Amino acid sequence: MTIQFNRAAYQKVFNDLDAYRDYCRFEGKVFNEAALYKKDDPNWIAYEKWRNYIRMKARNAGRNFNNRRN
């Protein structure tokens, strides 16, 4: 009887941990690996907002916004 490992789940967790560590390092935040996926941790909230900002920035790349109203 062997234990079946979910390789994709492990890779996702470790990739998310690396991305969160890089964010904390470059943004000057305190890195705490226990804060990963905690919705009430201030650093995790800031990281999620930053990820959404980057996603929205990439989605809007190449669009020509005309802010003038005529």
- pLDDT grade, residue 69 (50/70/90)? low
Joined tokens for residue 37: 């996926």
Higher pLDDT, 26 or 70: 26
pLDDT in tens, 7-26: 899 999 999 999 999 999 99
The answer to whether residue 64 is domain-embedded is: no
The answer to whether residue 70 is domain-embedded is: no
The CA–CA distances, whole Å, from 20 to 6, 25, 41, 50 equal 22, 9, 13, 11
The answer to whether residue 68 is domain-embedded is: no
Residue 33's φ and ψ, nearest 5 degrees, are -65, -20
| H-only helix segments in the chain | 7-27, 42-59
Q: What domain range is 15 assigned to?
A: 7-59
Total domains in the chain come to: 1
The answer to whether residue 21 is domain-embedded is: yes
The answer to whether residue 69 is domain-embedded is: no
The answer to whether residue 52 is domain-embedded is: yes
